[in-house]
Structure 1
Amino acid sequence: MKRNSWFNFQNITIFIIVSWLLLFVFVPNFLVLITSFLTRDSSSKHFISFSFNINNYLRLFDELYGKVILNSLYMAVISTIICLVIGYPFAYILTKMPVKLRPLLLFLTILPFWTNSLIRIASIKVLLATKGLLNSSLLWLGIIDTPIRILNTQTAVIIGLVYILLPFMILPLYSSIENLDKPLLEAARDLGANKFQAFMRVILPLTSPGIIAGCVLVFLPAMGMFYVADMLGGANVLLVGNVIKDQFQKSLDWPFGSALSIGLTVLMCLLLSAYYYSNKMLSKKVGLE
């Protein structure tokens, strides 16, 4: 057999990967894209009329859906900021732990992934309930006189998003901080920089790729985690994911649900592009400095 034969391990692997992407990524997304230009027809067997138009995309700018999109962006941004504020010190402290202890701490960090997200959100629901552990503890300590209503609010949804997505912030931050060039920190101290100055001028810029990666990994899923809003926000709080789910399951308006899905996908692509170019610019900046 010739050495350059097509049937080698590399080509077969590429073929499998490309076939997988075509069948389970590009084809489904292409079908969603086509459906987004169709029209809902309640009299049709499949609730779709093959009448192409852009009305579904124009509906995205309606005040009602605009508020939902802005609300989703707001909660995703707040959740990302909270995850960053909690995750950065956690990851930094993790890198300062003894080397033998770090694998155990990393294991405990990713341990929640082994439990179904719905079960974890259900536990948060029990914790935040009017007669839940949080309110009971605050009442027992005398901090409050009456239970605080947390469930079915934006606060509850943000708490749930942070709880689910925090490990996605910690892991890239840990990797970025762990790979810091230690001689640069020593040089900063030798030049008279205190801990705060060393952090702001050396550590923070060098760990920016990890910060950006963590923010992207938290922000993108936070926009579409409809089950978190369903269980913790009730009917009072909606994410874009909730609207998409309702269009397919309740309203049976598949074309508009597809348009919402495409809109969310475009937003995610823009954010990923921003991440790529910001990472590229940061790499050049650090290289020049």
Structure 2
Amino acid sequence: MENWKNSARAFWASMLPPTFWLVAFFIIPLSIIWLYSFSSKTGIIETTLDWNLTHYARALEPVYLGIFWKSIWMAAATTAICLVVAFPVAIAIVFAKPTMRMWLLLLVILPFWTNLLIRTYALIAVLRTNGFINNGLDWLVTHADWLLSFVGLGNNMLIGPYQPMALLYNNTAVIFGLVYVHLPFMVLPLYAALDRLDRTYLEASLDLGAGHFRTFFLIVVPLALPGIASGVIITFIPAMGSYLTPDLLGGTDSYMIANVIASQFKQANNWPFGAALSFLLMYATFFALALRAVLMRKEGRGDRR
């Protein structure tokens, strides 16, 4: 530390590049979009900065509030499903052998090595009318007689021709895609929290007569709350602002707020209104992060007492 304090040149040499990058490619572009949200559209692409709140007021109209609430509940459903699925996965990784743990973690982060667009099109190949799921179910129905006779049921069950299910272009497909994309964001913080878990607590709970379910809900879950909170935040926020997944997997009634924002910038050429919508989403994100920080601070103060 003393070397850093005494060497100002080394300090600035290490700080200036990331600071420049942050200011030039993050703060300045966001500031420009923030100014757009208080501007008025005077032409096809022309705007005038007059510091009005018209676009924020328009964003609070029922039609846009409905899209906001729909984005919230779809992100909440995605987060809840990810939490339920990720918890046993994280526990399995933590209690796996050290040699297996590395490979299991690799499988979790492996999707990050593939472009999101490619992964989404792979989901389309799975969910479409003639995709893998419908073709697999069609094969099962087609060969039902042989399968029933194989298990000893004979031909007592009559199964009609298979009708492909509509698995694409609806809200269910969007949530399925969001879970597929954001599941690693829930697994990794849960793994980090459970990996620090003192296993003597589990042994003590089981020795004192608590079953596995009581030990899980009364010991494991409370001790993993920091990981749960981090996983919920970093899953909910990207899911709420997701654009590509609902655009490719959803139908006309599956639009989320990010799709509306993109349409305002691309199709409608209404940058001020799109900027207002995007910053309302950002304000909600900041509120969620501030709320988490307050709750974590209160929890820390309670521990010190």
What's the TM-score bracket when you normalise by the shorter of the two chains?
over 0.9
1:96 aligned to 2:95?
yes
Distance 1:28 1:99 in 2: 45
Alignment of 1:42-191 (within 5 A): 42-43=43-44, 46-142=45-141, 145-191=162-208
Q: Tell me by how many angstroms 1:210 deviates.
A: 0.5
1:268 aligned to 2:285?
yes
Distance 2:298 2:233 in 1: 17
- The verdict on how the C-alpha distance between 1:185 and 1:280 changes in structure 2, with shifts beyond 3 A counting, is farther
Distance 1:36 1:77 in 2: 27
Distance 1:236 1:272 in 2: 29
Distance 1:88 1:281 in 2: 25
1:225 equivalent in structure 2 = 242
> Partner amino acid for 1:88?
F
Report the TM-score, using the length of structure 1 for normalisation: 0.92
CA contact (8 A) 2:35 2:49 kept: no
Give the percent of matched residue pairs that are identical in Structure 1 and Structure 2.
Answer: 36
Q: Deviations along 1:201-258, whole A, 9 cap, x unmatched?
A: 2111110111111111111111122111111013331111101111110000000011
Which consecutive residues of structure 2, in runs of 5 or more, have no partner in the other structure? 142-158
CA contact (8 A) 2:39 2:52 kept: yes
CA contact (8 A) 2:171 2:251 kept: no
Give the stretch that moved more between structures: 174-183 or 242-251. Answer: 174-183
Q: Tell me by how many angstroms 1:267 deviates.
A: 0.8
1:33 equivalent in structure 2 = 34
- The verdict on how the C-alpha distance between 1:284 and 1:140 changes in structure 2, with shifts beyond 3 A counting, is farther
Task: Give the counterpart of 1:204 among 217, 221, 229.
Answer: 221
Q: Tell me by how many angstroms 1:107 deviates.
A: 0.6
Distance 2:278 2:26 in 1: 14
Distance 1:95 1:164 in 2: 22
CA contact (8 A) 1:209 1:282 kept: no
CA contact (8 A) 2:189 2:227 kept: yes
> Would you say how many aligned residue pairs link Structure 1 and Structure 2?
284
2:9 equivalent in structure 1 = 7
Q: Tell me by how many angstroms 1:5 deviates.
A: 4.4
- The verdict on how the C-alpha distance between 1:47 and 1:179 changes in structure 2, with shifts beyond 3 A counting, is same
Q: Tell me by how many angstroms 1:284 deviates.
A: 4.2
Say which SS state the counterpart of residue 8 (structure 2) adopts. coil
Distance 1:191 1:281 in 2: 31
CA contact (8 A) 1:47 1:252 kept: no
Distance 2:300 2:195 in 1: 17
Distance 1:185 1:283 in 2: 23
Q: Tell me by how many angstroms 1:67 deviates.
A: 1.1
Distance 2:96 2:302 in 1: 30
